[in-house]
A and B are shown apart, each in its own frame.
Chain A
Amino acid sequence: MLLQADNISKTFFRNTGSANYFYAVSPLSMEIRPGTVTVLTGRSGSGKTTLLNMLCGILQPTEGRVLMDRTDLYSLDDAALSRFRNEHIGVIPQARSAVDTLTAEENILLPARLYGKDPPAEKARRWMENFEIAHLAGVFPRELSGGELRRMAIIRAVIRDPDLLFADEPTGDLDDENTHRVLSALHDLAHGENKAVFIVTHENDAEKYADRVFRMDRGEVFPLA
């Protein structure tokens, strides 16, 4: 699936002296193609998360459109957009994102269960083994470390086999070995299964796994190398 951002921007209220709003993301257009890994870097507060949220269908741009194979995401009603996200878009948010009343495995299978699909338990097990959290399947989130929760969230994002995968600083709380594991898994998804992968990261290493790298600064996006 081809994702096209068509001149999108986001403003938030803030008194800047000259105006009472500011551009968290200045107007920009970009394409995210299947089979590629796109990496976005930039300093904290530069607007990376805001851009990612607009692209993945949970934050309506102030102006512009987000097209997914010609479907204008934000013209869909809530039920349709929600379902579309569930089926086609996987998101690994920057913040802690576990459902506390569900075990790690239940969290992972939740996206499938929301719409009554057969839970792909075999796939979940494979990924958990690969990420070394298989032994934590029945454990509740409050007993998991930040890194373990992060890996859980990653598996949950891919469990529905989405066409697009968004990851917001997915390796922030991982050690080197797991960072490598996660990034190469995302890379394999793009190149092995023709997914479009979009990663926001501080990690300089990440650029090794990237097909395209962008840098963000005060709401503006610049292509790198």
Chain B
Amino acid sequence: MKILPLSVKNLARKPGRTTALVLLTAFLALAVFGGSVITLSLRAGLRSLEARLGADIILVPSEAESKVSFRNMFLQGTTGAFYMDASVAEKALEVPGVEKAAPQTFLASLKADCCSVKIQVIGIDPSRDFTVQPWIARSLKNELGDMEVAVGCKVGAGIGETIRIYEQRCKVTACLEPTGTGLDTAVYCNMKTMDTLLAAAEAKGVSHRISSGDDSVVSAVYIKVRDGYDIGDVNTALTGKLRKVTAVRTRSMLTGVSDSLAGISRTVTAMIVVIWVLAFVILLLAYTLIVRERSREFAVLRLLGASRNMLGRMALYESAVCGLIGGIAGTGIAAVGVFSFSALIEGSLGLPYLIPGFSTILCLAAGTILLSVAVSALTSAFAAWRLSRVNPGTALRDGA
């Protein structure tokens, strides 16, 4: 370690050179860490979406087609104000091949006085639901009682608080895990609570009546197809049997997402690879130039009895420190950027976006920093190793 103090002085007393190297590595670390977090978040978003969406087919009233984009409904969980007769669920079950039919009722709240964001209320039937129930169950031990709600993580209400929806007080009994979609701003209640809320909304002039005049309405019915049945056939049968109802296959939607996700993943990965190859070349070039500029200094050190090995170590220490500082700085800046603009990124991609857990992020950060250190050290050691073959006597001859 006798050479280390020399490295430290070299770094401290050539601040321009040190800063340039730190900035270069910081830029690389930024690209790698930022790119990786975005890719991983998209993957995690898709996984959570797949896990949540056990449904093969979704039934919505035909009029919904003009009111909501199904793609957004799926990916982002946006809902709309459209309703059909509650009996659709029972009728669907009569179609051969339908294993489960879970109704949901949507209600868009007015700017709720509880919350900063406009929330969506979703009524579910816990006894029949198979789509969101497993997800809700992870945060909620008992079933949702009357006038109780489970809130998405972005609603901003804590357990035990009361939120008012159309003047009705609802008690928050659970906060749900993030999904990376619009569902994070939704509120879930049981069907009985939903009926109360619908009536309250009606009183405020928000209509949900349907022409049939039946009191009981639902917005969508999620269908699970029995194993061994062809989803396409069941889809056709459902469309044939149910009037004024549109049946949408979820698989086609998810495939689309997977495809665009794979595309984005590939692009980001390719970009990271290109950046690193470029970086490697630039760093190698930078260190070659620097080392050449320092050839006289190296020759003097050799003359005074430093071995080639020691010179290699000196260059290695210096670049490793630059790599470390640059790596930490770049990762830090990327982290601040990615996390503080995650809403923006999420919005502009239009895909489910779920930032990975703390430990994954930590591993990723550590990996990025390690990589920065390794690449810096490798390129500079290579440059120094090449230079130390030059005879010190010859190097000292030039000039003066």
Contacts of A115 in B (CB 8 A): 2, 305
Q: Which of B7-15, B42-50, B202-210 contacts A (4 or more CB under 8 A)?
A: B7-15
- Quick check: is B252 within 8 A (CB to CB) of the other chain? no
Which residue from B2, B303, B307, B309 sits with its C-beta under 8 Å from A58?
B303
Q: Does A201 contact B (CB under 8 A)?
A: no
State whether A97 and B5 are in contact (beta carbons under 8 Å apart), knowing that A49-B397, A79-B309 are contacts in the complex.
no
Q: Chain B residues near A114 (CB, 8 Å)?
A: 2-3, 6, 301, 304-306, 310
**Given A91-B303, A95-B399, are A113 and B297 neighbors across the interface (CB < 8 Å)?**
no
Question: Would you list which residues of chain B between 1 and 52 have a CB under 8 Å from chain A?
Answer: 1-3, 5-6, 9-10, 13-14
The reply to whether B392 and A83 contact each other, CB–CB distance below 8 Å, is no
A216 to chain B, nearest CB (A): 16
Within 8 A of A (CB), among B283-315: 296-297, 299-310
Sorting the interface of chain B by its residue count into under 10, 10 to 19, 20 to 34 or 35 or more gives 20 to 34
- List of A residues within 8 angstroms of B400 by Cβ: 94-96
Complex contact A83–B2 (CB within 8 A)? no
Among A83, A86, A114: residue with most chain B CB under 10 A: A114
> What's the interface size class on A, roughly?
20 to 34
Task: List A contacts of B6 (CB < 8 A).
Answer: 102, 110, 113-114
B396–A82 CB distance below 8 A: no
Residues of A within 8 A of B13 (CB): 101, 140
Instruction: Identify A82's interface contact among B2, B306, B398, CB under 8 A.
Output: B306
Q: Which of B2, B10, B299 contacts A113 (CB 8 A)?
A: B2
C-alpha spacing A6/B225, complex, angstroms: 96
Q: Is the interface of B mostly helix, strand, loop or mixed?
A: helix
Q: Is B240 an interface residue (CB 8 A)?
A: no
Q: Are A78 and B309 in contact (CB under 8 A)?
A: yes
CB-CB under 8 A from B393, the residues of chain A are: 49-50, 53, 58-59
A180 contacts the other chain (CB 8 A)? no
Given contacts A58-B393, A113-B5, A114-B2, contact A99 B300 (CB under 8 A): yes
Residues in B with CB closer than 8 Å to A58 are 302-303, 391-393
State whether the Cβ of A98 lies closer than 8 Å to any Cβ in chain B.
yes
Q: Which residues of A contact B304 (CB under 8 A)?
A: 85-86, 110-111, 114, 156
What residues on B are CB-neighbors of A17 within 8 Å? Answer: none
Q: When A58-B392, A96-B399 are in contact, do A83 and B308 touch as well, CB less than 8 Å?
A: no
Nearest-neighbour CB distance to chain A for B163, whole angstroms, equals 65
Residue in chain B with minimal CB distance to A168? B396
- Our pick among A49, A83, A91, A140 for the contact of B307 (Cβ within 8 Å) is A83
Query: Closest chain A residue to B14 by CB distance?
Result: A101
Bound-state Cα–Cα, A84 to B309, Å:
15
From known contacts A95-B396, A115-B2, infer whether A78 and B14 are also in contact, taking CB-CB under 8 Å.
no
For residue B392, which residue of chain A has the nearest CB? Answer: A58
A223, CB-defined interface residue at 8 Å: no
Query: Which has the most chain B C-beta neighbours within 10 Å: A50, A78, A98?
Result: A78
User: Does chain B have a CB within 8 A of A87?
Assistant: yes
* Distance of B361 from chain A, by nearest CB (Å): 38
Bound CA–CA A208/B79 (angstroms): 104
B302-A82 in contact (CB<8A): yes
Q: Which of B305, B308, B394 contacts A111 (CB 8 A)?
A: B305
With A100-B297, A114-B305 as given contacts, are A95 and B397 in contact (CB-CB < 8 Å)?
A: yes
Q: List 17 A-B contacts (CB under 8 A).
A: A49-B393, A58-B391, A82-B310, A91-B303, A93-B300, A93-B303, A93-B396, A95-B396, A97-B299, A97-B303, A99-B300, A102-B6, A110-B304, A113-B2, A114-B310, A115-B305, A140-B13
Beyond A78-B309, A82-B305, A86-B304, list 20 extra A-B contacts (CB 8 Å).
Answer: A53-B393, A58-B302, A58-B393, A83-B307, A85-B305, A93-B300, A94-B397, A95-B296, A95-B396, A97-B299, A97-B303, A98-B300, A101-B9, A101-B297, A102-B6, A102-B9, A110-B304, A111-B304, A113-B2, A113-B5
